[in-house]
Structure 1
Amino acid sequence: MRYIVIGAGAVGGSIGAALFAAGRDVVLVARGAHHDAIAAGGLTFRTPRGTEHLHIPVVAGPDELTLTPDDVLVLGVKVQDSIAALETWGPVPVNGGGTADTDLPLFCAQNGVEGERIALRRFARVYGVTVMLPATYLAPGEIAAVGDPLIGVLTVGRYPNGSDLLVDAVCADLEAAGIGGRPTEAVMRWKYTKLLANLGNAVEAITGPVESGAATDLVSRARAEGLAVLAAAGIDHAGPDEDAGARTRLITREIPGQPRGGGSTWQSLTRGTGRVEADYLAGEVVLLGRLHAVPTPVNATLCRVADDFARRGVRPGSMTVPELLALIE
């Protein structure tokens, strides 16, 4: 089984690095300076246990390798970049017959709950992955993950529901690689739970680390709206006790000499990508609110401001909490 990780950023790169270090067959897919740095000197992977320089095979696109029936595609790009990645990889021929979109499994290691639905329009075999893996893309060719002893915990299942032998095999490989692999029959139940947790991402990206009482209260308000829309839509999710139980295996430690980066939205603003995933986090709550007549003023504002920051290239943490609250009120 060969893992082709499409999007070797913080999460995808960490998954690929851990699997490769454990002796699994891995190919990273990266672009631009990140691709060039990995191709020239390998991927530098920093964790609390030390630094590894891993010479993982890397390609810029599907024209640089031949797909086989034993390949597993891992989609690690942000959800807003899913369509472009799926359109690139879907029609690629598989050695022996067929194409990637009809013959190969696709695992969506992404935040939010829309990635799997987007993927299922194009790929016949889609798997959901709930990602708990705190990591940072530091620079081209360099990634840090702060989980220890496990790098992260991934909950994996068929989309929209169910499990199979491939889920078990992937989870076994993850465990061997130092990543907790949790098979589940109801992966979207866990992804909606993670969605609620990710509603603090925009607050952090807009106002800086969530440390003050006002910032914490704002995150609580965003999550309260999330709970309200899930209830109105009749969408099941894991409760606080279940979520806490799943997180018991995820312990983080500082990497000596390496300041910890912010969340995924913070990192996108820091790199000046021009786009953030807020539309698929806070924006998912807004969408459900509009569909089910539930007001979501906090998440609507978070989504609008985060998107504006990305378009204008505003640095993360450039707005105070009182300024953000004024926009909501």
Structure 2
Amino acid sequence: MRILVVGAGAIGGYFGARLLEAGRDVTFLVRERRAQKLHESGLVVKSPAGDLHFDAPPLVLAKDIDKPFDLVILSCKAYDLANAIDSFAPAVGPDTAILPLLNGMGHLDVLDARFGTAKVLGGQCVIGATLGAEGEVLHLNDMQSMTIGERAGGRSARIDTIAAQLSDARFDLQVSEDILQAMWEKWVFLATLATGTCLMRAPVGDIVSAPGGDDVLRRLFDECRGIAADNGHSPGEALVTRARGYFTDRGSLMTASMLRDLENGARIEADHIVGDLLARRKTSVDGASVLAIAFANLKAYEARRARLAG
């Protein structure tokens, strides 16, 4: 199976490197600047699960794609989705499957409109990773999982074939027979974590140690899971119990990657992770919406960033 990993950043670089390590037929679709860096330094992964270094990882530029791939793994940021689609479109043939690992749900509509629903799988990943100063992939903790599935539910020969290619690559691979539920549950957790840590500019432990901080996270989580319920994907008890444990841990240093991006003055996925969630609300909340306040905070950051950029 020929696999195209779109980008060799933190997420694509990590999972693509693990697949290369396992002997899979992987090619990274990169821009010229990233290609030059990889030609100079190779693809470097530093991870608690084992470091990797590929001197000459297989690379392709968009203009050089000359035939379809069997699987396209997409892990870009939501604000780069349109450009990413244009770059990998030549790699999509009649039998190509597209596996997006983006957060939220809005990207599915965009991909469906361009390539058709039948080509687009459901997927998500859980990993803490970023790029270092020299372009190396830094795996920050022991989380490294990917979940895939057919959006219509159940199992299929296609998903089993893809799972066989993604398995045994030193990351946790799961096939879900209800991938949309899994994606909604991750969205609820991530939106709570992102809005809470960005609004308070602090990790979870510091937030819940502050007066009223635990109530902020509780209300955010309740709002997010209420919206999921509005859309037929109420989080299961396992997720609710796990999330409540995370969001009440006074010793937790957990933050969202969105907070790291915000503190570095970088672009953030405010619209895709928070704005789109708010747009899907169907029932009102009692009192002021903390989620709406947190979203306004993120949009104010974006406005200020754009103004200072000029």
Question: Is the structural similarity TM-score above 0.5?
Answer: yes
Deviation at 1:190, TM superposition (A): 0.3
Partner residue, 2:236: 239
Of residues 235-244 and 222-231 in structure 1, the stretch that sits farther from structure 2 once superposed is 235-244
Amino acid at match of 1:179: F
- TM (norm. structure 2) is 0.81
User: What residue is the counterpart of 1:265 in the other structure?
Assistant: 258
Aligned-CA RMSD value: 2.7
SS in 2 for 1:283: helix
Query: 1:38, CA displacement in angstroms?
Result: 1.4
Q: CA deviation at 1:194?
A: 0.1
Q: What residue is the counterpart of 1:77 in the other structure?
A: 76
Note closer, same or farther for the CA distance 1:271–1:38 as it changes in structure 2 (3 Å cut): farther
CA distance in 2, matches of 1:160, 1:140: 41
| 1:134-283 equivalence runs, <5 A | 134-148=128-142, 152-199=144-191, 200-206=193-199, 207-212=201-206, 213=208, 214=210, 215-233=213-231, 235-241=232-238, 263-270=256-263, 272-273=265-266, 275-283=267-275
Task: Deviation per CA, 1:237-264: give whole Å up to 9, x if none.
Answer: 441326889xxxxxxxxxxxxxx99533
CA distance in 2, matches of 1:307, 1:30: 29
Whether the aligned pair in 2 keeps the contact of 1:16 and 1:26 (CA below 8 Å) is yes
Change (3 A) 1:137 1:89: same
Shift of 1:198: 0.4
For residue 51 of structure 1, what is the amino acid of its counterpart? Answer: D
Aligned equivalents of 2:292, 2:271: Cα separation in 1: 9
Quote the Cα distance in structure 2 between the aligned partners of 1:132 and 1:243. Answer: 17
Q: In structure 2, how many angstroms separate the alpha carbons of the residues matched to 1:160 and 1:294? A: 31
Q: 1:243 to 1:52 in 2, by over 3 A?
A: farther
Alpha-carbon distance change, 167 to 83 in structure 1, aligned in 2, over 3 angstroms: same
Confirm or deny: 8 A CA contact 2:196 2:220 kept in the other structure.
Answer: no
CA-to-partner distance for each residue in 1:179-211, whole Å, 9 max, x for gaps? 211112211100000011102113323413222
Alignment partner of 1:38 is 2:38: yes
Q: How many Å separate the matches in 2 of 1:270 and 1:112? A: 22
The answer as to 2:87 corresponding to 1:88 is: yes
C-alpha separation between the residues in 1 aligned to 2:291 and 2:179? 24
The alpha carbon displacement at 1:88 in A equals 3.4
Q: What TM-score comes out, normalization by structure 1 length?
A: 0.77
Distance in structure 1 (CA, Å) of the matches to 2:241 and 2:22 = 28
CA change 1:195–1:121 in 2 (3 A) is same
Question: Residues 65, 32 of structure 1: CA spacing in aligned structure 2 closer, same or farther, 3 A cutoff?
Answer: closer
The answer to whether the 8 A contact 2:154-2:177 is kept is: yes
Question: Per-residue displacement from partner, 1:220-252 (whole Å, max 9, x unpaired)?
Answer: 22111012222233x22441326889xxxxxxx
Give the match for residue 57 of structure 1: 58
Pairwise CA distance, 1:77: 0.7
Amino acid at match of 2:31: R
Aligned residue in 2 for 1:131:
125
- Aligned AA for 1:268? D
- The match for 2:21 is 21
| Alignment counterpart, residue 106 of structure 1, candidates 95, 98, 101 | 98
SS in 2 for 1:193: helix
1:127-151, Cα deviation, whole Å (9 max, x unpaired): 1112112222223521112454xx5
Residue identity (%): 25
Closer, same or farther: CA 293–243 of 1 in aligned 2, 3 Å: closer
Question: Which letter does structure 1 place at the counterpart of 2:171?
Answer: I
